[in-house]
Amino acid sequence: MSDEPKLLDHSYDGIQEYDNPLPGWWSAGFWATIIFAFAYVALSPLLVSTPDQKYRAALADYTSKKERREIADAANVSEAILERGMHDPKVVDKGAAIFAVRCVSCHTADGHGLIGPNLTDLYQLHGSTRMDLFTTIRGGVLGTPMLAWGEQMPPTDVVAVATFAATLRGKNIPGKPPQGHLVEAFK
């Protein structure tokens, strides 16, 4: 192949053109990009994660952090936290919503009791404090219909519903006769 440019035979309006070969570096680049494209498509599943995979990873991370935080929150529950919750409408409303779904069948909507004890009177079966209510709700009472609700709902829900249960104390709604021992009303 000579380096002499070859004049092509056609002519348009007297204009002729040379058949100049493409420079070697240019052709090499051209082929390199084609090979790269195939290699990239073939290997990309190994090299880069798809948005879907990234989303799943982020969600798993979020869920595990959330669970850890909730467990830590519930482990820190104290009389003071439950007392503060009783004055926080957000917590009480959340607890009321849970109570309306999970607890009404045995304690009735206003808490005056049916299968479960009256939660509105000044009598308590297990302990006397808000924490005792929380512990009973979380762990249940073995051998009775009262389930361990800690196994049925996230820890923060147990805290909320225990807080709500504490707000019922002292409403003295006539219902199931008193069970347990006399306790003081919560402030």
In the complex, which residues of this chain contact ligand HEC (CB under 6 A)? 99, 102-103, 105-107, 115-117, 119, 124-126, 133, 136-137, 141, 144-146, 149, 161, 165, 180
Distance CA 20, CA 5 (A): 6
CB of 126 to ligand HEC, least distance (A): 4
Closest CB to ligand HEC among 45 and 177? 177
- Locate the DSSP E strands across 13-144: 15-19, 123-124
Closest CB to ligand HEC among 107 and 112? 107
Say which DSSP state 169 is in. Answer: T
Closest CB to ligand HEC among 81 and 125? 125
Distance CA 35, CA 114 (A): 76
CB of 66 to ligand HEC, least distance (A): 21
Closest CB to ligand HEC among 61 and 93? 93
Separation in Å, CA 25 to CA 4, 29, 30, 52, 62 = 19, 6, 9, 39, 50
CB of 171 to ligand HEC, least distance (A): 14
Distance CA 143, CA 146 (A): 8
**What does DSSP say about strands 15-19 and 123-124: parallel, antiparallel, or unpaired?**
unpaired
Q: Report yes or no: 146 and 136 within 8 Å, Cβ to Cβ.
A: yes
Closest CB to ligand HEC among 2 and 156? 156
End-to-end CA distance of the chain: 102
Both tokens of residue 67? 């669970």
CB of 159 to ligand HEC, least distance (A): 11
